[in-house]
Amino acid sequence: MLQQIDRVAQGGANGNTSLQRVNDFVVKFANVNGSGSASANALFAKAVLRMGIAATPRNIFPSNIQGLPTWYEVRISDAGHLAARGGGPDLMIAMNPQTWDQDVKSIEPGGYLFYDNTKPMPPEKFRNDITVIGVPLTEITNKAYTDSRQRQLFKNIVGLGALSALIEMDPAVIEKLLSEQFKGRDKLIAANVQALNMGRDWVKQNLDWPIGLTLKHANTVGDRIFIDGNSAAALGAVYGGATVCAWYPITPSSSLAEAFIRYCGQMRTDKATGKKNYAIVQAEDELASIGMVIGAAWNGSRAFTATSGPGISLMQEFIGLAYFAEIPAVIFDVQRAGPSTGMPTRTQQTDITACAYASHGDTKHVLLIPEDPYECFEFGALAFDLADRLQTPIFVMLDLEIGMNDRLTKPFEWDDARRLDRGKVMTAEDLESGKLFGRYLDVDNDGIAYRTLPGTHPTKGAFFTRGTSKNSMARYSEEGADYQENMERLLKKHHTARFLVPPAIERKADAPTKLGAIYYGSTSPAIAEADALLAEQGIHLDLLRVRGFPFGPEVEAFIEAHDHVFVVEQNRDGQLRSLLINELEINPKKLGKVVHYDGTPISARFIAGAIAANIEKAAQ
Amino acid sequence: MTFLAKPKLHHPELHKNSLGYTRRDYEGAISTLCAGCGHDSISAAIVRACFELELPPHRIAKLSGIGCSSKTPTYFLGASHGFNSVHGRMPSVLTGANLANKDLIYLGVSGDGDSASIGLGQFAHAMRRGVNMVYIVENNGVYGLTKGQFSATSDKGAKSKRGVVNSDEAIDLVGMALQLGATFVARSFSGDKAQLVPLIEAALKHEGAAFIDCLSPCVAFNNHEGSTKSFDYVREHNAAMNYLDVITGREEITVDYAPGSVEMVTQHDGSTLRLRKLHTDYDLHDRVSALTYMQERHAVGEIVTGLLYVDPNPRDLHGHLKTSDTPLNALQEDALVPGSSALAKINAGLR
């Protein structure tokens, strides 16, 4: 029989209480990993963007290749909010029987449930405060296709077609995307469009449409681009002149190295000869990958590795060597939770301390902390200039949230007049002209000494690279005075770095306030939204986004200028807060800890709630 | 003692090679190793090999890990850049350096603790990648700097200076290098300069992964009765397969040996190895029979030395990766940075 939108009997979900929203809702797809749903999901998000509406998708997935549940959550926001909203979805596309109960439970009151009702679910499997939409996707595709692979793939497209009719997604936009995706393969385009229409037609003929959640063409996207942070960082490495990449696969950083492989294949390979202006080695482990980076950088190549927390742990000794031997190295750390099986597919900002003070001995490192793919590109390129300028490891701190999710971001920019800053390197001519060369001599009073590259000059400028046992002329020494002199110079160099890392950015509240909040990285979009929520409650915060370590003078000034400063971050211990206390000698009582660390991205609702509760508590 | 600079005074009539360098120009600082250490003989052999091959010293990069052997790069090639990296990780640092500039010669010096224990993984992977290098393990079967513990190349049944008998099976780096695809594999003895110097020369001229396991007795901790790495033991059990002459093109090649006893091998760079074979039935181009032969001789207590395997036309890591002819560290903006118009295209594709 022809189906109507199933409404669960007890009257809860009638037209009056169902959510009614235009361009502002959350759709969540519950899928089975490996079922081919990813491309249809991405198509959905892109179609929303092409209608000019900001959409932010998030992959929520377990550490698994095939069979386990995955989710794809898309936040659609006309207001341009890119953070996770928090709470449940308004529309759940429940395609995974395994997670049915939890999926149904998570839907916001008054929300909608879309499912394949080829085999209808019994009424007790629903809730009485949601609207249930059943579309027999399996039945439709099984009728139309005989091949099992086709059935599975086209079921996703039929589903997208049905969904597009229900929320009034512009079909022309989807068709255009399909024609771009399968450019030159007309048969494939036609087949996909046909499947799309099958779903659309079925809904139009059988159901009340649209539902209360709809899309209308808007103009919130502008000229922004849509890309994941790992790809953006890899592109930054290409523009930053990186020639050697040594890496070891680890979630969530692998796609960064893979993007570098892809971009180099396109842009760094001689079309005629096939010769490559780069070398990429998949190392046997993280120790080897950082070792290769250090060897290459010692020899004058711009080199990097991409890794995550467990890799950072393994690299500790080498990172120390690079610090003391003063070798440029770029390390992209895409942060996740814990060691071993520890939630590799969940996001966190848990390596701040581990990277800032990596290795044994007295070490302090330079961190760059991008907020989105735009900055992943910017800092990705900048990291190589800073590494050469400062002759030290530079960490670019991404996390899974920005690294592995497509994000709406400012278009990338490049100034063709920009030159790679190779830092202080003495050439054969410099040496020939009689310039004094001492590998660890602080001639410019900035803590940065000159280096020479192997093979430069037949008789001048050669030196022996080692750890800390040396004097300023790079001769072996275990003298205490030599050691101390070197360590003090390294500290001076670290101080120099304060003025070279991207400065923190302050955003003043609309009303004067003595309250501030410091945040960084992927917390950015949630803070912006939380700030608006708090302002509605009369709580005004000046905001400071930290973009690098060591902290510039503006960070100290910001804390100085406020009575109380919340430090918002995605780890248990408030790692950046500890770093502020330790490095700037701030009274810990002045810095409030607002931490979110369950592995899901921090949301505006969480931040606003936590800060409001904190203020309320303080007032009591 | 390295703060004592070695006097730079040269005898005015000291022989110079065609580059105008004397052998002294290939030396380094005064060694701080124990008097009589086998490692110093290897350093001297490296100095002689580089002098005789007339290599510009600054075009060699010398890298090492940690240990007595890894200290030695300070004691030779003072005009070369050197890198004392971390324990067991020289191979990765050398691999990275090699990726950055294919035009230098890479000399990796390591020990049995550095390569067979803590660094076994990196040793293996550098071999299988075919990094163009000379990798010398100065093998004494013992940890010297930490005072005499067994290393992973200590033979089963060997006795330490304190009288402890080693119960672990020894790791044979030559066998591993053969299995892992090294294209030049040799074993030698620090006390046999006639064999070692030409082997180092041949390895330096080899354009692939060249490995030399050089037995190098530790006079302080492993030169006693019951040791299988002592001077006496190695001399008594040394089964030399061959001796080499390396001919780099200037000399006339003449063969006046008995048939079968000499083999000429021309390497890819044009150098010729003249092998004076002591075992005429041994085929040094056959990896499988080399492995079998090594194990058979090892079983009867012999230490086989000489050039054990060579592929005269190896393909190195740069060949596999198809890197540009210009060394990567010499590429400038025009070759590296795609520019704003390429970026505009990328932006357009992301909307």
**What are A270-319's pLDDT values in tens digits?**
999 999 999 999 999 999 999 999 999 999 999 999 999 999 999 999 99
Residues A247 and A113 in one domain: no
Residues A161 and A275 in one domain: no
Task: Name the CA radius of gyration of chain A, rounded.
Answer: 27
How far apart are alpha carbons A351 and A357 in whole angstroms? 10
- Reported as type and span, the H/E element at residue A153 is helix A148-166
Between residues 115 and 174 of chain A, which touch chain B (CB distance below 8 Å)? none
A575: in domain = yes
A13: in domain = no
Is the CB of residue B310 less than 8 Å from the CB of residue B264?
no
Across the A:B interface, residue pairs with CB atoms under 8 Å apart total 224
Q: Which two tokens stand for residue B120?
A: 């076994």
Q: For residue A97, say if its preceding peptide bond is cis, omega within 30 degrees of 0.
A: no
Residue B254, pLDDT score: 57
Residues of A in contact with B121 (CB under 8 A): 284-285, 288
CA distance, residue A85 to nearest chain B CA (Å)? 23
Q: Which residues are CB-neighbours of A366 under 8 A, at least 6 positions away?
A: A386, A390, A392, A393, A394, A395, A494, A497, A501, A548, A549, A550
Residue B259, pLDDT score: 63
Residue B57, pLDDT score: 96
A282: in domain = yes
Residues A206 and A235 in one domain: no
ipTM of the complex: 0.95
- Of A214, A241, A269, the residue that ends a domain is A214
CA angle A401–A404–A408, rounded 5-degree value: 75
Residues A523 and A559 in one domain: yes
Residue B248, pLDDT score: 85
CA distance, residue A526 to nearest chain B CA (Å)? 23
Q: What is the mean pLDDT of residues A154-169?
A: 97
Residue A152, pLDDT score: 87
Between residues 3 and 32 of chain B, which touch chain A (CB distance below 8 Å)? 3
The DSSP-derived string for A14-65 is STTTS--EESEEEEEEEEETTSSHHHHHHHHHHHHHHTT-EEEEEEE--S-S
How far apart are alpha carbons B211 and B20 in whole angstroms? 30
**Contact flag A321-B86 (C-beta cutoff 8 Å):** yes
Partner A contacted by B59 (CB < 8 A): yes
**Contact flag B93-A294 (C-beta cutoff 8 Å):** yes
- Of A409, A426, A449, the residue that ends a domain is A409
Residue A17, pLDDT score: 85
**Contact flag B351-A476 (C-beta cutoff 8 Å):** no
Strands A279-282 and A303-307: unpaired
Q: How many angstroms from the chain centroid is the CA of residue A441?
A: 39
How far apart are alpha carbons B135 and B127 in whole angstroms? 9
CA distance, residue B153 to nearest chain A CA (Å)? 22
Residue A10, pLDDT score: 35
Residue B257, pLDDT score: 62
A471: in domain = no
What is the number of helices (H) and of strands (E) in chain B? 12, 13
- Reported as type and span, the H/E element at residue A555 is helix A553-560
Residues of A in contact with B18 (CB under 8 A): none
In this model, does residue A11 exceed pLDDT 50?
A: no
**Contact flag B95-A294 (C-beta cutoff 8 Å):** no
Nearest CB among B61, B99, B342 relative to A301 is that of B99
Partner A contacted by B325 (CB < 8 A): yes
Q: Which amino acid is at A307?
A: T
Domain with A574 in it: 505-619
Tens of pLDDT, residue by residue over A100-134, are 999 999 999 999 999 999 999 999 999 999 999 99
How far apart are alpha carbons A278 and A257 in whole angstroms? 13
Partner B contacted by A464 (CB < 8 A): yes
CA distance, residue A422 to nearest chain B CA (Å)? 10
HSE-up of residue B280 (Cα within 13 Å, Cβ side): 6
Partner B contacted by A291 (CB < 8 A): yes
Report residue A129: phi and psi, to 5°.
Answer: -115, 20
Residues of B in contact with A267 (CB under 8 A): 338, 342
* CATH code for the domain in which residue A142 is found: 3.40.920.10
Between residues 469 and 528 of chain A, which touch chain B (CB distance below 8 Å)? 475-477
**Contact flag A458-B79 (C-beta cutoff 8 Å):** yes
Q: Which of B337, B340, B347 to mutate to test the interface with A (most CBs of A within 10 A)?
A: B337
In this model, does residue A76 exceed pLDDT 60?
A: yes
How far apart are alpha carbons A274 and A265 in whole angstroms? 9
- Give chain B's largest Cα–Cα span: 77
**Contact flag B3-A235 (C-beta cutoff 8 Å):** no
Nearest to B131 by CA among B321, B326, B307: B321
Question: In whole angstroms, how far apart are CA A272 and each of A269, A275, A506, B327?
Answer: 9, 8, 50, 18
Tens of pLDDT, residue by residue over A482-537, are 999 999 999 999 999 999 999 999 999 999 999 999 999 999 999 999 999 999 99
Domains located in chain B, CATH noted: 23-334 (3.40.50.970)
Is the CB of residue B243 less than 8 Å from the CB of residue B276?
yes
* CATH code for the domain in which residue A381 is found: 3.40.50.970
**Contact flag B329-A243 (C-beta cutoff 8 Å):** yes
Nearest CB among A244, A418, A452 relative to B96 is that of A244
Sign of the CA dihedral with A94 first, then A98, A99, and A102 last:
positive
Partner A contacted by B320 (CB < 8 A): no
**Contact flag A295-B78 (C-beta cutoff 8 Å):** no
A383: in domain = yes
How far apart are alpha carbons A286 and A290 in whole angstroms? 6
A396: in domain = yes
Q: Which amino acid is at B178?
A: L
A182: in domain = yes
Tens of pLDDT, residue by residue over A324-335, are 999 999 999 999
- Of A214, A238, A255, the residue that ends a domain is A214
In this model, does residue A395 exceed pLDDT 70?
A: yes
Residues of B in contact with A321 (CB under 8 A): 85-86
Q: Which two tokens stand for residue A410?
A: 């400012």
Strands (DSSP E) contained in A461-597 are 464-465, 505-507, 515-519, 542-545, 548-549, 564-569, 591-595
How far apart are alpha carbons A424 and B97 in whole angstroms? 19
Residues of A in contact with B325 (CB under 8 A): 275
Strands B60-64 and B105-111: parallel
Nearest to A333 by CA among A316, A302, A349, A309: A309
In this model, does residue A14 exceed pLDDT 50?
A: no
Residues A178 and A248 in one domain: no
Residue A61, pLDDT score: 83
Mean pLDDT computed over every residue of chain A: 94
* Reduced DSSP (H G I as helix, E B as strand, rest coil) percent helix, strand, coil of chain A, to 5: 40, 20, 40
* CATH code for the domain in which residue A536 is found: 3.40.50.920
Is the CB of residue B106 less than 8 Å from the CB of residue B150?
no
Nearest CB among B59, B78, B328 relative to A244 is that of B328
Is the CB of residue A232 less than 8 Å from the CB of residue A412?
yes
pLDDT > 70: what percent of chain A? 97
**Contact flag B343-A413 (C-beta cutoff 8 Å):** yes
Q: Tell me whether residue B115 is exposed, middle or buried, using C-beta atoms within 10 angstroms of its C-beta: 0 to 12, 13 to 18, 19 or more.
A: buried
Residue B252, pLDDT score: 59
Rounded (10°) CA dihedral A231, A232, A236, A239: 80
A86: in domain = yes
In this model, does residue A8 exceed pLDDT 70?
A: no
Question: In whole angstroms, how far apart are CA A585 and each of A496, A561, A566?
Answer: 19, 15, 16
Partner A contacted by B35 (CB < 8 A): no
Task: Name the CA radius of gyration of chain B, rounded.
Answer: 21
Q: What is the mean pLDDT of residues A213-236?
A: 97
3-class state of residue B317 by DSSP: helix
Tens of pLDDT, residue by residue over A39-64, are 899 999 999 999 999 999 999 888 78
How far apart are alpha carbons A374 and A526 in whole angstroms? 17
How far apart are alpha carbons A546 and B142 in whole angstroms? 51
- Reported as type and span, the H/E element at residue A76 is strand A69-77
| pTM given for the model | 0.95
Q: Which two tokens stand for residue A239?
A: 């523009």
* Angle (deg, nearest 10), helices A524-536 and A604-619: 50
Residue A2, pLDDT score: 35
How far apart are alpha carbons A506 and B282 in whole angstroms? 76
Residues A179 and A244 in one domain: no
Partner B contacted by A416 (CB < 8 A): yes
Question: In whole angstroms, how far apart are CA A255 and each of A91, A332, A357?
Answer: 30, 12, 26
Look at chain A and report how many structural domains it folds into: 3
Q: Which two tokens stand for residue A112?
A: 């909608």
HSE-up of residue A10 (Cα within 13 Å, Cβ side): 7
Nearest to B188 by CA among B147, B111, B136, B151: B136
Question: In whole angstroms, how far apart are CA A66 and each of A31, A32, A96, A573?
Answer: 11, 8, 13, 34
How far apart are alpha carbons B152 and B170 in whole angstroms? 6
Residues A179 and A52 in one domain: yes
> Nearest chain A Cα to B346, which residue?
A412
Query: From first to last of its 351 residues, what are the pLDDT tens digits of chain B?
Result: 344 566 667 777 889 999 999 999 999 999 999 999 999 999 999 999 999 999 999 999 999 999 999 999 999 999 999 999 999 999 999 999 999 999 999 999 999 999 999 999 999 999 999 999 999 999 999 999 998 999 999 999 999 999 999 999 999 999 999 999 999 999 999 999 999 999 999 999 999 999 999 999 999 999 999 999 999 999 999 999 999 999 986 565 555 666 668 888 998 888 899 888 888 788 899 999 999 999 999 999 999 999 999 999 999 999 999 999 999 999 999 999 999 999 999 999 999
Question: In whole angstroms, how far apart are CA A62 and each of A79, A83, A523?
Answer: 31, 21, 22
Nearest CB among A49, A243, A290 relative to B331 is that of A243
3-class state of residue A74 by DSSP: strand
Tens of pLDDT, residue by residue over A556-607, are 999 999 999 999 999 999 999 999 999 999 999 999 999 999 999 999 999 9
Residues A111 and A197 in one domain: yes
Partner A contacted by B157 (CB < 8 A): no
Residues A185 and A49 in one domain: yes
**Contact flag A225-B343 (C-beta cutoff 8 Å):** no
Q: For residue B327, say if its preceding peptide bond is cis, omega within 30 degrees of 0.
A: no
**Contact flag B99-A296 (C-beta cutoff 8 Å):** yes
CA distance, residue A571 to nearest chain B CA (Å)? 32
Nearest to A75 by CA among A23, A20, A112: A23
Nearest to B68 by CA among B3, B170, B163, B145: B145
The per-residue b/e assignment along B310-331, b for 16 or more CB within 10 angstroms, e otherwise, is: bbbebebbbeebebbeebbbeb
Is the CB of residue B139 less than 8 Å from the CB of residue B112?
yes
Nearest to A557 by CA among A593, A584, A582, A583: A584
CA distance, residue B313 to nearest chain A CA (Å)? 20
Partner A contacted by B350 (CB < 8 A): yes
Is the CB of residue A339 less than 8 Å from the CB of residue A309?
yes
Question: In whole angstroms, how far apart are CA A455 and each of A298, B44, B104, B326?
Answer: 12, 22, 7, 15
Q: Which amino acid is at B292?
A: T
Residue B256, pLDDT score: 61
Residues A193 and A270 in one domain: no
Residues A60 and A164 in one domain: yes
Q: How many angstroms from the chain centroid is the CA of residue A50?
A: 22
Residues A545 and A602 in one domain: yes
